[in-house]
Amino acid sequence: MSEYNALIAAATKVRENAHAKFSNFKVGAALRTPGGKIYTGCNVENATYGLTVCAERVAIFKAVSEGERRFDAIAVVTDTDKLTPPCGACRQIIWEFCGDVPVVLANLHGKTETLRMNQLFPKPFDSSNL
């Protein structure tokens, strides 16, 4: 049993709540704190697409809005054959709020891959650049 099974299950479940009536590309994300609490998020689309919010950012903003500040892993689930990594905006937010955490990519067919954020975002812009 993988240490990320609960994260993948939570992301898979919340994916069904996605508001993706334009692209029909539903994404679920689950974020875990060091204490084991899980926060979830799904993508919420808008007709202009530019105002769409990705699942990863929804999960992070939800956790932060409830006072959480430390995280140790995030999972992203889509219904694709090729696993889908976070977009550039999400990579920036994940780095700033979660640091070099494991990012678990999964699909609905049981395929998974775990990468660290430094692999997905090798030269991040953060407070050390200010």
3-state SS, 43-71, equals CECCCCCCCCECHHHHHHHHHHHCCCCCC
**Confidence (pLDDT) at 38:** 98
According to DSSP, the residues that pair with 38 across neighbouring strands are 32
- As a residue count, the chain comes to 130
pLDDT along the chain (130 residues), means of 10: 92 98 97 98 95 97 98 98 97 97 98 97 92
16 belongs to the catalytic site = no
Q: What is the reported pLDDT for 2?
A: 86
Query: What domains lie within the chain, and their CATH numbers?
Result: 5-123 (3.40.140.10)
Q: Which of 3, 16, 56, 68 is catalytic?
A: 56
Strands 102-107 and 38-42: unpaired
Q: Pick from 72, 51, 50, 59: which is nearest to 17 by CA? A: 59
